[in-house]
């Protein structure tokens, strides 16, 4: 940590309120991770709260009981679920219900919120409170061992705020002194073409063509030791085509005007958040493209996207097509599918929309 706890506490409110910086931007300013930024507010006393009012910021470190925390979140009522990575943000208002555990993967499959939570990657959790626009914003925030944000849950005015106190009481970590150790961030290497020389391309293409479920794709990547960018590069135009970045704007605008429902995935190494429904509004402001749906926001930073891939995966019920936004290391930024019911083929209007993206390709340049 390059700044002291006192430095962070004294400057946080000004950077947040006056400069309108996001948490990650404030962390970058202090040359620390986002988890360290939040942790700097652990142990704030009642006297400190009075002195800092109305610019309150305080954190409570929670025990590493991930499934129990998520189960207790059900009692908060309607909240905002937020999952993001460096280039995409996925926000959904709803209730955490039907929470469960499969191995070390947590599931939330309610009518409103759909999550896959990879608890092996979770390391820190906090209840965080801060004054924001004359109101007190309360949240639960989760981070990985490198201090990167995994998932956040924000309370709304109508949420059950008293239940948050119960969560704090039951799961507060005994150690409430500020200061944590975070591992050095390990970024995945960019694509190196020489890594692909030993791949049996014909066998790989045969196995791709034999896929019966999109879930088998992960095993295919593991078998050939490929990341997604590698795989899409090798498979050829029959199953994967690279499109200009402008295709994503065309897709969302067309989906809105034609009332084609979409399923949008955004994830990071510790969580995947999913929305299915109509696109109600498309906003293109500065570097961000924002998609609005039913109690849903999706924000995509258009300035740093390497490319958009049109991907087709065979399946038991026909080919499943998607637009996949990847970084150069093959990590998923976002994926967009046509909304469909399990065990059903993908809708024809979705396939027609993707054909339009291909035929309009030249106009995106």
Domain ranges of the chain: 5-171, 193-364
Q: Residues near 267 by Cβ (< 8 Å), separated by ≥ 6?
A: 83, 85, 116, 273, 332
DSSP, collapsed to helix, strand or coil, labels residue 357 as: helix
* Euclidean distance between CA atoms 5 and 41, whole angstroms: 8
Neighbours of 237 (CB within 10 A): 8
With beta carbons less than 8 A apart as the criterion, state whether 240 and 311 touch.
yes
Distance of CA 236 to CAs 190, 201, 229, 274, 364, Å? 20, 10, 12, 28, 22
| Domain made up of 193-364: CATH architecture | 3-Layer(aba) Sandwich (3.40)
Give 109-129 pLDDT, tens digit per residue. 999 999 999 999 999 999 999
Mean pLDDT, the chain, rounded, equals: 90
- In this prediction, residues 255-266 reach a mean pLDDT of 96
Please tell me what DSSP assigns to residue 302.
T
Return the higher-pLDDT residue of 169 and 330: 169
Q: How many other C-beta atoms lie within 10 A of the C-beta of residue 215?
A: 10
Sign, Cα dihedral of 270, 302, 251, 362 = negative
What was the pLDDT predicted at 281? Answer: 95
Classified as helix, coil or strand, 64 is coil
Q: Tens digits of per-residue pLDDT, 200-218?
A: 999 999 999 999 988 899 9
Nearest to 161 by CA among 95, 76, 81: 76
Residue 183: the pLDDT is: 93
> 5-171 and 193-364: same fold?
yes
What's the Cα-to-Cα distance from 324 to each of 85, 118, 188, 245, 340, rounded to whole Å?
A: 15, 21, 18, 11, 17
**Pairing verdict, β 149-155 and 78-84:** antiparallel
- pLDDT, position 52: 64
**pLDDT tier for residue 358 given thresholds of 50, 70 and 90:** confident
Q: How many percent of the chain have pLDDT more than 70?
A: 92
Sheet holding 281-285, edge to edge: 57-61, 124-132, 135-143, 149-155, 78-84, 88-95, 296-301, 288-293, 281-285
On whether the CB atoms of residues 84 and 265 are closer than 8 A, the answer is no
Strand ranges, E, within 207-348:
240-243, 262-268, 271-277, 281-285, 288-293, 296-301, 307-313, 320-326, 332-338
Report angle CA 336, 112, 67 to the nearest 5 degrees. Answer: 100
According to CATH, the topology of domain 5-171 is Heme iron utilization protein-like fold (3.40.1570)
* pLDDT, position 13: 81
Output the pLDDT for position 50. Answer: 61
pLDDT confidence of residue 193: 47
pLDDT at residue 365 above 60?
Answer: no
CA distance 92 to 206: 39
């Amino acid at each position: 940590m390059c700044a002291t706890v006192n430095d962070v506490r004294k400057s946080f409110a000004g950077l947040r309120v006056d400069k309108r910086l996001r948490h990650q931007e404030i962390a970058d300013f202090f040359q620390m991770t986002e988890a360290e930024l939040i942790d700097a507010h652990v142990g704030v006393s009642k006297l400190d709260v009075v002195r800092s009012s109305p610019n309150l910021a305080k954190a409570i470190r929670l025990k590493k009981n991930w499934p129990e925390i998520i189960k207790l979140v059900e009692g908060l009522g309607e909240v905002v679920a937020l999952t993001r990575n460096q280039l995409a943000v996925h926000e959904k208002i709803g209730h955490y219900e039907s929470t469960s555990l499969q191995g070390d993967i947590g599931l939330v499959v309610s009518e409103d919120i759909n999550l896959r939570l990879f608890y092996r990657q979770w390391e820190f959790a906090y209840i965080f409170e801060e004054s924001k626009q004359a109101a007190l914003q309360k949240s639960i925030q989760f981070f990985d061992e490198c201090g990167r944000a995994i998932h956040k849950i924000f309370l709304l005015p109508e949420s059950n705020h008293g239940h948050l106190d119960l969560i704090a009481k039951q799961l507060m970590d005994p150690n409430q002194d500020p200061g944590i150790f975070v591992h050095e961030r390990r970024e995945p290497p960019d694509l190196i073409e020489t890594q692909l020389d030993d791949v049996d391309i014909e066998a790989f293409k045969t196995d791709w063509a034999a896929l019966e479920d999109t879930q088998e794709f992960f095993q295919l990547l593991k078998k050939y030791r490929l990341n997604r960018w590698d795989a899409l590069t090798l498979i050829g135009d029959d199953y994967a085509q690279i499109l200009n970045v402008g295709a994503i704007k065309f897709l969302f605008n067309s989906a809105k005007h034609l009332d084609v429902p979409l399923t949008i995935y955004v994830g990071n190494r510790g969580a995947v958040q999913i929305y299915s429904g109509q696109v109600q509004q498309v906003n293109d402001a500065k570097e961000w493209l924002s998609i609005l749906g039913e109690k849903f926001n999706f924000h995509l930073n258009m300035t740093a996207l390497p490319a958009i891939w049109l991907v087709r995966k065979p399946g038991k019920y026909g080919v499943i097509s998607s637009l996949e936004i990847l970084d150069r290391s093959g990590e998923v930024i976002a994926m967009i599918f046509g909304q469909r019911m399990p065990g059903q083929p993908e809708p024809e209007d979705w396939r027609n929309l993707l054909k339009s993206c291909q035929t309009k390709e030249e106009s995106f340049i």
